[in-house]
Amino acid sequence: MLTLPCPFCGQRDETEFANAGPTKPPRPDAKVTDSDWIDWLTVPVNPIGYVEEKWWHAKGCGKWFTLNRHTVTHDVTTTDGQST
Give the CATH number, domain containing residue 70: 3.30.2270.10
Q: Is the pTM of this model over 0.95?
A: no
**Residue at 42 is within a domain:** yes
pLDDT at 83: 54
Give the angle 60-73-11 at the CA atoms, nearest 5°: 25
**Residue at 46 is within a domain:** yes
| Domains identified in the chain, total number | 1
What does the pLDDT look like over 15-57, one tens digit per residue? 999 999 888 888 888 899 999 999 888 888 788 999 999 999 9
**Residue at 83 is within a domain:** no
Q: Structural domain of residue 24, as residue ranges?
A: 3-78
pLDDT at 80: 57
Q: Is the C-alpha dihedral spanning 9, 73, 49, 46 positive or negative?
A: negative
Q: Is the pLDDT of residue 84 over 60?
A: no
Q: Is the pLDDT of residue 69 over 60?
A: yes
